[in-house]
Homo-oligomer: A and B are copies of this chain.
Amino acid sequence: MKKLINDPKNVVSESVQGFGLAHPDLVSIHPDPLFISRKQTKSNKVGLVSGGGSGHEPLHAGYVGFGMLDAAVPGAVFTSPTPDAIIPATLAADSGAGVLQIVKNYTGDVLNFEMAAEMATAEGVQVSTVLVNDDVAVEDSLYTAGRRGVGGTVLVEKIAGAAAERGDDLEQVTAIAQRVNDNVRTMGVALSACTVPHAGVPSFELADDEIEIGIGIHGEPGRHRIPMEAADGIADRLLEPVLTDLNLSAGESVLLFVNGMGGTPLSELYIVYRRASQLLAERGFTIERSLVGNYITALEMQGCSISVLRLDQELTELWDAPVHTAALRWGV
């Protein structure tokens, strides 16, 4: 596996340095302990902090900026960041109105953010936490008790960020983030494995004619392996459990999010979107908003995930609200 890297042990720090050099108007880089903070801040706005293992870019640093996150904490590749980095990020995100931690439900992340929340609280910062657990594929997994946090995380960060930007207080922003999480479901597929730089070998093996349905974003196992099949069939396999679990009623409006795992061409994501969109229409659901692209990845893994978010008028307005980050931008 060839990678555009220098020393494997500097992958995260050099990538974050490059990110800071490319987006000096948006972010400040704090090298040790490593976190990214938003440059343009305002006082008395609820701060949003997220983080987790690296390798899922643009998540989370790519979502730091106006209308989304105030700080992001990247761990080593596929490894939770530690409290010594989460604490200063949380303090940096606080402008007097408290901080919401958005945490993907992985055991390491949950423990480390919890510890950091306690320490930040001890320093006088009000902290609340929302765990994202939108993955319908598996109930418990290699790295989690309960469901994993995957594609829905991007939607939680965007919509909660908009709530904070309009002036909601910590309780309100937390409730909005929780409402997004409660109304989004996701399932993914891997066509190929990915290789963690310092490991140097693929995280798992998939035969040439095999795919893994229900994969996580770290290459951890999903529901089952099946022979390779056509995109439409794969889209159905991902979307059905999502819809069943979300328990949508005909006539409801949704946001449809087809996410690339990093190594799949955009053209293929649109082929998946096409089928998912047809299936939603057949069931009588209205796609009010869409998102298609590589927004939460697993290094160079080939594959995708499909997320469906049940929309109401307020969530739609918050989704539409202006955002200016490296990876998601509109209205400004």
Which A residues are closer than 8 A to B by beta carbons? 2-7, 11-12, 14-19, 21-23, 54-55, 57-58, 62, 191-192, 208-209, 211, 228, 230-232, 234, 256, 258, 262-275, 277, 287, 290, 292, 294, 297, 299-300, 302-304, 324, 326, 329-332
With A271-B18, A273-B18, A332-B331 as contacts: A300 and B5 at CB distance below 8 Å: no
A303: which B residues are within 8 A, CB to CB?
4
Once bound together, how far apart are the Cα atoms of A2 and B207, in whole Å? 10
The quantity of this chain's copies bound in the complex is 2
- Among B21, B270, B271, B294, the residue within 8 A (CB) of A273 is B21
Once bound together, how far apart are the Cα atoms of A300 and B262, in whole Å? 9
* Interchain CB contact under 8 A, A4 and B304: yes
* Interchain CB contact under 8 A, A4 and B271: yes
A18: which B residues are within 8 A, CB to CB?
269-275, 277, 292
* Interchain CB contact under 8 A, A228 and B2: yes
A326: which B residues are within 8 A, CB to CB?
292
A300: which B residues are within 8 A, CB to CB?
263-265, 302
- Among B14, B21, B231, B331, the residue within 8 A (CB) of A4 is B231
